[in-house]
């Protein structure tokens, strides 16, 4: 459903991501974990065509990213950085417009009920709390039952009840065959639902994290520490 092969994207000053290779298959939840600035959002933006790689290839729903047709993009649901919504329109109006843009005739009420948005349905988006804005963004991203779901820090600003709701939504959709790529700094949360947890550091994927251990946070920071030491040693020998 989503495949990166030796993907590199650099920015001025040397930041960016390099040599990214991984894939997300049908019915699979893949979590991307890393410290702030590790490159998670850049990876997500590359996956959605918001950035173009300088090297390497990306395939989306069996199409090269640069030639993927509109019909393929209609099967993608995404939330990266901030929810996409018109601030002066109500929650209901935003959900309705999102459906129209994807050619989806489904009922908005289904999304309202699924994300428990009934109390704010007729409120302008700009007047919502951060948590409610995030839930609207998730509803917009998922209401058309996408085959590929790409979410960057989706639990931001969510209260515990909404985090559980998000977890249930992603688990159910993966069981129904959707491919899910989700980034987060909440290691314990994503480890509950992910089939694989990929570690990212300094713009590179450095392996997978075993989620069966007793102290995931300690294991995570130890992997990052070892990678930093390895990079520093390699730079000193150049």
Spans of all domains in the chain: 2-75+149-236, 84-145
According to CATH, what is the number of the domain 2-75+149-236?
A: 3.40.50.300
Task: Name the nearest CA neighbour of 95 among 62, 144, 132.
Answer: 144
152 - beta bridge partners? 183
Instruction: Tell me what pLDDT residue 126 has.
Output: 96
Give exposure, 50-62, as e/b (b: 16+ Cβ within 10 Å). Answer: ebebeebebebbe
Instruction: Tell me what pLDDT residue 106 has.
Output: 74
5 in helix, strand or coil? strand
Q: pLDDT tens digits for the chain (238 residues)?
A: 999 999 999 998 878 999 999 999 999 999 999 998 899 999 999 999 999 999 999 999 999 998 999 889 989 999 998 898 999 999 999 999 998 888 777 789 999 999 999 999 999 999 999 999 999 999 999 999 999 999 999 999 999 999 999 999 999 999 999 999 999 877 888 888 999 999 999 999 999 998 877 788 888 999 999 999 988 888 777 7
Pairing of strands 179-184, 29-33: parallel
pTM for the full predicted model:
0.93
Measured between alpha carbons, how far is 30 from 25 in angstroms, rounded to an integer?
9
């Amino acid at each position: 459903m989503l495949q990166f092969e030796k993907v590199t994207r650099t920015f001025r000053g040397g930041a960016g991501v390099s040599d990214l290779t991984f894939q997300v298959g049908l019915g699979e939840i893949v979590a991307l974990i890393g410290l702030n600035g590790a490159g998670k959002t850049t990876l997500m933006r590359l996956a959605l065509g918001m950035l173009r790689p300088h090297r390497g290839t990306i395939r989306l729903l069996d199409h090269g990213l640069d030639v993927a047709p509109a019909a393929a993009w209609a099967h993608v649901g995404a939330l990266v950085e901030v929810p996409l919504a018109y601030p002066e329109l109500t929650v209901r109006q935003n959900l309705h417009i999102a459906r129209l843009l994807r050619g989806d005739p489904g009922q908005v009420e289904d999304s309202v009920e699924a994300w428990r948005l009934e109390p704010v349905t007729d409120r302008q988006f700009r007047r919502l709390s951060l948590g409610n804005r995030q839930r609207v963004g998730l509803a917009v991203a998922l209401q058309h039952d996408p085959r590929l779901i790409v979410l960057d820090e989706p639990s931001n600003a969510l209260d515990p009840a909404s985090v559980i709701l998000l977890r249930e939504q992603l688990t159910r959709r993966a069981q129904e065959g959707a491919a899910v790529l989700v980034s987060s700094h909440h290691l314990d949360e994503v480890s509950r639902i992910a089939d694989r947890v990929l570690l990212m550091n300094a713009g590179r994927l450095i392996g997978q994290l075993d989620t069966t251990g007793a102290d995931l946070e300690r294991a995570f920071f130890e992997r990052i520490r070892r990678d930093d030491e390895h990079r520093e040693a390699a730079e000193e020998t150049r």
